[in-house]
Amino acid sequence: MPFLELSLPCTEVQQPRYERALESVGALAVTLADAHADAPDEQAIFEPGVGEQPLWNELVLTALFAAGTPQELLLYALDAADEGLDWSRASFREVADQDWERAWMDQYEPLQFGRRTWIVPWNHELPAGADAADAAVVRLDPGLAFGSGTHPTTALCLQWLDTLADEGALRDARVLDFGCGSGILALAALKLGAMQAIGVDNDPQAITATADNAERNGVADRLAVYLPQDEPADTYPVVVANILASALVALADTLAARVAPGGRIAMSGILHGQEDEVIERYAKDFESLRAERLEDWMRVTGVRRH
């Protein structure tokens, strides 16, 4: 069925109020986009850090309403919902319905990371190489959460896990995927030989997507997913955190406490130029800290001090 779409420019500071007002009058969905998506210095957005929602400074907020919703009455209701907001720049258009997720999946091709890790859409044939006896194949349906393997930060972490598997460091290990998104890293670790994986994310949609993907990959009995407040305090020989650099710095003590002595950590979601701050923050708890670059993004790895 068609929908009525409302679009409105706003700032990062204003966004939560606008979103609350839209939801209070019955918005079916609210999405955000960079107001300067075509600008050369566009600020990237990727898997959100645990406990925060990274946003661009200037946004375009889009909301969907049922077709036939009267525009003037809708604006009146929005004014009443929050009298301090300006709805004068709101624009409307009718949009046709489509299966947005399936349309995205039609454009998604299998990807290989390292020697034997493959990310393959759930409805795609296995490519040559992914059918090898030792291939670690993750069948992915990202749903509403970030994490498909296409972003350099995810690629960096998948390559690291593939290398750990070749070294035997994942065999029968327990792995923590902190900021799990779609669960792609936890799933890859399990397919590469880990005994158990724990996923943590602040987004309930990510929890659902990770659980669904674990079921699809036949590893639901070895993967548990938690919101941050529900995460059991434990230590792991392998921890991977693909979140924001600012979140990595803020959560350094928390993440350090999750890595067992002698255990390994990989952190990404770090723009080139931010890696020094991350390394400095983790230096007291980790040794052998090193940074690797892919495009404009960095991965920092280290070994927990005994």
- pLDDT per residue of the chain (306 residues) written in tens, 0 to 9: 578 899 999 887 888 899 889 988 888 878 777 665 444 333 333 333 444 444 456 788 888 888 888 999 999 999 998 989 999 999 999 887 655 445 545 556 788 999 999 998 877 889 999 999 999 999 986 444 445 566 788 999 999 999 999 999 999 999 999 999 889 999 999 999 999 999 999 888 788 889 989 999 999 999 999 999 999 989 999 999 998 888 899 999 999 999 999 999 999 988 889 999 999 999 999 999 999 999 888 999 999 999
Buried b (16+ CB within 10 A) or exposed e, 99-138: eeeeeebeebebbbbbebbbbbbeeeeeeeebeeeebbbb
Contact 217, 182 (CB under 8 A): no
- 242 labeled binding residue: yes
Which residue carries 């040794």 as its tokens?
Answer: 287
- The neighbour count for residue 25, using CB atoms within 10 Å, is 17
- 31 labeled binding residue: no
- The neighbour count for residue 201, using CB atoms within 10 Å, is 30
Helical (H) or strand (E) element with 50: none
Question: Domains plus CATH for the chain?
Answer: 3-97 (3.30.70.120), 149-304 (3.40.50.150)
Contact 147, 158 (CB under 8 A): no
Measured N-to-C along each axis, helices 184-191 and 204-216 cross at an angle, to the nearest 10 degrees, of: 30
- 203 labeled binding residue: no
CA–CA separation, 172 and 167 (whole Å): 13
- 153 labeled binding residue: no
CA–CA separation, 248 and 270 (whole Å): 9
Whole-model pTM: value is 0.69
Q: Which two tokens stand for residue 38?
A: 């075509």
For residue 141, give the nearest of 211, 81, 78, 75 by alpha carbon. Answer: 211
pLDDT at 39: 42
